[in-house]
A and B are shown apart, each in its own frame.
Chain A
C-alpha cells in the first residue's frame, strides 16, 4: 500500500512538470512582449526595461524556466501586478473560504444523495423512484444563482435566520462561520445532490442484478443489510469517482456562488485576475488547480483499493 502511494506520487511529478511548463510558456508565448503585457499600455521604455531585468526576460528561455521553477519550489509564485502583494499570500487568504464551502457542500451532497439513490434503486420503478429522479432533473436544471437568491430571500431577508452574505473564518468561532456558510452550501449542493443521487441509483441498479445480491437474500438477512453491506459497497466505485471529481471542480469553480454570497474565495480571485490580466495570479491558480486535481485523483484511487480488494496496488 505504501509502495503504491509512493509510486503514484512519483508518477504525479512529470504531470506537474508539464503543467509548470505550460504555465511558464503561457506568458512567454503570448504574442507581444511579456514586459509590455505586464506593464500595461502606458509604460515608459525605462519601466519596460526595468521589468525585463527584474523578471530576467533578457536571459535565454531555458535559464528563465529553471529560475522560475526554482522560485516555485521555494514557494515564490511571484507578485501580483495589480495589488503588488505576493501571490502566495493572496491565495493563502482566499483558500479557506473556498475549501470550507467545497467540503461542506460535498459532505451535505453525499449525506443526502447517497441514501436517495439507494432508496430510488431499491424501490425501482415505483413513485418513490420517479420522485427522486424528478428532483434530480430539477437539481440539474435550476441554475445555482437562482437557488442562491431564493435561499437568501427566504432565510436571510424574510425569516432573518442567517446573515445575507459574507464569510467568517472558523477561527472566529463556529457559530458565525456556520451561519454564513449554510446558505451557499445548500445552494451549491443542489446540483451535486442531483448528480450523485443519479450515479448512486444507476450503480445500485447494476449491482442489484448481481448473483451475490441473490445469495445475500437467500441467506435470509434483512433488506437493509442486503442494500448496505452487499449492494452499496459494490456500487461505491463509480460513486466515489463522481464525488471526487465533483470536489475538485468545487474548489476552483464556485465563482457564481462566491459572487452571489459575496465570499472572498479563490473562484473570484481567479476571475478577477483573468479580467485584470494579472498573469502571476493566473499562473498560480492554474498550478493550484492542477495540483488539487492530482491529489483528488490520487485519493480516489486509494479509495478504490480500500473499497475493492480485487483492485491491486
Chain B
C-alpha cells in the first residue's frame, strides 16, 4: 500500500496547557491515502472538527493544545512545525472547506480577490496568469458566468455558489489533502447532491486525498471510501463503507445507523373522521420593499397555499430553503400577518382579526422552533418559561408551576428540572423543554418549525418519538415543517411539497414520497443522500425490497 497522505497517530488534544487537563481527543489514529475519501462520522461533541483543525494548525491558541501523538502530512510532522511552515503548507499541500458558506467568505471583498489572495501568498504568478488560473478553477467547480462572479461580493451569490467558491479557493493550488468539514450541511438537498458530485469529480481529476467530516449517514453513503466513527473524542471503529454500513461491529455504530430515519414512509395510519382543526385557504404573503424613488420590489413568499389538518394528525410541509414553508407556518400562527387568504383555527377565522381579539385564540396554536439553543430565554428558569404562557391566561402561579412539572415529566425530563436554567441542558433536552412550553396552553395545534433539524440523529429519533407519543396521548394535531424528507417520511400522515412559495404537490405521505407525481418532488427524493441504503436494517434498499 502507498504511503498515506495524512497520517494521524494516537493524537491527544487537551484543554489548556495543564498536563492534567481534560482531553477533547483521546488517542485518535486515522490515515487518508491518495484518491481516497475517508469520512469522519460522529455526533456533535465527538471531536471531528477538532481533528481537522488540529491538522490545519487552526486550533484556538492556548485553549486547545495537542499534547501527544503525531499528525503527518506526506511524512512531514505538523504538530511541531513552525507557524511559518504551517502557513506555507496551507492551501498548497492541505486545504479546508467549511460548513457555513454563508459566513466563511469575507463579506466585504469580491470573491475573485479572495481566491487571488491564495495565489498571491503562495506563487510568483503575475496578475494576468493568476486571473486566468482563477477563472479556470471557477469553471472547474462549474460556476456560471465566471467573469461576473469573479467580481461579485459573496452576498450576491447563493449558498451553493459560495461553497463552490470555497472549493475553488481550496483546490486552486492542487493540495494533496482536502479537509471538508460538513461542507454540505447548510445546503439544500439538490445543491448538496451537486456539491458532493463536484468534490468526487475533482478528487478523481486531481488525485486528492479527502478527509470528509459529516454527521449525516446519507452523505457518508454517497461519498465515502472508508469510514471512521468517532464518539466523545475516541475512535469507535474504522472500516470500508460497505463493512461499516453492513456489518458494524460496535454497538454505538449500530445505534447510530439504526437511528437514521428511513426514506420509506411508515405504514399509513387509518383515515379519520375527526374534525378539522386548522385550515388555510389561499394563504399568501407578499413582502414589499418600499422605494423612495421609483417602484419597490415585491417578493411573493407564499402564494395561495391551501391546506387542512385534522385532529390527531400530522401534516408535513417539506421544501428547500426559500420555498416559503416557514412563512406559511408563521402566517398560520400569526407571528406575521398574511397578505391575503384565510386561516381557520378550530372553526374561527383568525387571519384578519386584530392582535387583541386574537389573544384568546393564540393558546390554541403553539409553535416549537428550530434552534433549541436560542429559543429559550437563558436568564429564566425552565419552569418559569413553561409557566409563563398559562400565567398570561390567568392561571395562578402555583398552578402553572405544578402544570410545568407535570409537563416536564410528560416530555421525559425529571420534574425538578424546572428550577434549572436552559444552559444546564443538552440540545435534545432543550427541545423537549420547548415542546413542554408549547403544550402548557393545551393547544389544538402544535406547529414544529424544523424542530428536529438541529439535533443529532439519535436525539432526533427520540424527539420524533416524543412527538408521536404526545399526539397519541393528547390527540393534538401537528403541523410539521421540515426540509428533511427522511423525517417527513417517519412522522407525517400527509405532506405538502412547496417550491418558490407555491404548493407543488400534496397528499398522503405514503403516496407522495413513494410515487411522486410532480418532477420537483421526484428531484427532491432523488437528491436525498444515501437513498439507496436502508441504514436501520444494515443493507441497501434493493435488498430490503427483495426480502420483503
Q: Which residues of A contact B (CB under 8 A)?
A: 3, 7, 210-212, 214-222, 225, 229-230, 233-234, 307-310
Contacts and interface: CB of A to CB of B under 8 A. Distances in A.
B95 interface: yes
Interface stretch (B96-104, B303-311, B440-448): B96-104
Nearest to B53: A214
B416 interface: no
A7 B153 CA distance: 25
B87 A220 contact: yes
B98 A220 contact: no
Contact of B87 (A214, A221, A230, A233): A221
Nearest to A231: B106
Given A3-B293, A212-B107, A219 B117 contact: yes
Contacts of A225: 117, 121
B166 A220 contact: no
Given A217-B90, A220-B91, A310-B108, 5 more contacts: A211-B103, A218-B56, A225-B117, A233-B106, A234-B106
A142 B166 CA distance: 49
Given A215-B106, A230-B106, A310-B155, A221 B98 contact: no
A308 B110 CA distance: 11
B522 interface: no
Contacts of A219: 90-91, 117-118, 121, 169
A234 B107 contact: yes
Given A211-B100, A310-B155, A222 B87 contact: yes
21 contacts: A210-B103, A212-B103, A212-B104, A212-B106, A212-B107, A214-B104, A218-B91, A218-B96, A219-B121, A219-B169, A220-B91, A221-B117, A225-B121, A229-B106, A229-B117, A230-B106, A233-B108, A233-B109, A234-B108, A309-B108, A310-B108
Contacts of B107: 212, 234, 308-310
B355 to A, nearest CB: 31
A218 B58 contact: yes
A225 B109 CA distance: 13
Nearest to B89: A220
B292 A218 contact: no
Nearest to A216: B106
Nearest to A7: B292
Contacts of A214: 58, 98, 104
Contact of B95 (A218, A230, A309): A218
Contacts of B169: 215, 219
Contacts of A229: 106, 109, 117
A122 B112 CA distance: 27
Interface of B: 56, 58, 86-92, 95-96, 98, 100, 103-109, 117-118, 121-122, 153, 155, 166, 169, 292-293
A219 to B, nearest CB: 5
Contacts of A217: 58, 90
A218 B114 CA distance: 12
Contacts of A210: 103
Nearest to B172: A219
Nearest to B294: A3
B452 to A, nearest CB: 25
A167 B507 CA distance: 84
Contacts of A7: 292-293
Contacts of A222: 87, 121
Nearest to A207: B106
Nearest to A213: B106
A220 B118 CA distance: 7
Most buried by A among B58, B92, B98, B104: B104
B105 A215 contact: yes
B165 to A, nearest CB: 10
A230 B121 CA distance: 14
Contacts of B293: 3, 7
A215 B98 CA distance: 8
B90 A218 contact: yes
A212 B90 CA distance: 15
Contacts of A3: 293
Contacts of A221: 87, 117-118, 121
A233 B108 CA distance: 7
Nearest to B289: A312
Given A7-B292, A222-B121, A233-B109, A215 B155 contact: no
A307 to B, nearest CB: 7
Contacts of B118: 219-221
A230 B104 CA distance: 11
Contacts of B117: 216, 219, 221, 225, 229
Pick the 3 closest A-B CB pairs, nearest first.
A220-B90, A211-B103, A212-B106
Contacts of A211: 98, 100, 103-104
A110 B546 CA distance: 74
A221 B118 CA distance: 7
A115 B340 CA distance: 54
A221 B98 CA distance: 17
A151 B39 CA distance: 66
A212 B107 CA distance: 8
A233 to B, nearest CB: 5
Contacts of A212: 103-107
A192 to B, nearest CB: 25
A218 B117 CA distance: 12
A214 B121 CA distance: 16
A148 to B, nearest CB: 39
Contacts of B86: 220
Given A220-B87, A220-B91, A215 B104 contact: yes
A280 B260 CA distance: 79
A309 B155 contact: yes
A45 to B, nearest CB: 54
Most buried by B among A210, A215, A221: A215
A234 B154 CA distance: 14
A28 B100 CA distance: 62
Given A215-B166, A218-B56, A309 B104 contact: no
A230 B86 CA distance: 19
A217 B57 CA distance: 9
A188 to B, nearest CB: 32
Contacts of B56: 218
Nearest to B120: A221
A3 B291 CA distance: 12
Contacts of B87: 220-222
Contacts of A307: 108
A220 B107 CA distance: 19
A308 B109 CA distance: 9
A93 B307 CA distance: 74
Nearest to B83: A223
A210 B102 CA distance: 11
Contact of B88 (A220, A230, A310): A220
Contacts of A233: 106, 108-109
A7 B293 CA distance: 9
A221 B87 CA distance: 7
Given A7-B292, A210-B103, A310-B155, A220 B121 contact: yes
A308 B154 CA distance: 11
B17 to A, nearest CB: 14
Nearest to A222: B87
Contacts of B88: 220
Given A212-B105, A218-B96, A220-B89, A309 B153 contact: yes
Nearest to B173: A220
B154 to A, nearest CB: 9
Contacts of B109: 229-230, 233
Contacts of B104: 211-212, 214-215
